[in-house]
């Protein structure tokens, strides 16, 4: 078996942090489920991006004089990302 090079998450070469694990949907997932896996992966990526934008927006609102409750609630929404 050929040696697999870790490829996820994709990071620029100049960073000292390297990818953690190998991921290849074509090799690891049966053909009948590949489309579902891609859709769920894209949904998870969109969800993660939305939560990051939410945290940044709440920090900006709080810095602009808004209520701190919104900032306090945004990390609670982002917590499920840390448990995956």
Could you tell me the mean pLDDT of each successive run of 10 residues in the chain, 84 residues long? 81 89 91 96 90 85 75 64 54
Domains of the chain, residue spans: 26-82
Closest to 50 (Cα-Cα) out of 15, 82, 81? 81
pTM: 0.67
Element (H, E) at 26: helix 25-28
Q: What is the pLDDT of residue 46?
A: 93
37 and 25 Cβ atoms separated by less than 8 Å: yes
């Amino acid at each position: 078996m050929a040696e697999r090079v870790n490829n996820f998450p994709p990071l620029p070469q100049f960073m000292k942090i390297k990818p953690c694990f190998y991921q290849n949907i074509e090799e690891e997932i049966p053909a009948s489920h590949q489309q579902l896996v891609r859709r769920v992966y894209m949904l998870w990526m969109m969800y993660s991006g939305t939560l990051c934008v939410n945290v940044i927006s709440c920090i900006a609102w709080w810095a602009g004089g808004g209520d701190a409750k919104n900032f306090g609630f945004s990390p609670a929404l982002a917590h499920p990302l840390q448990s995956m």
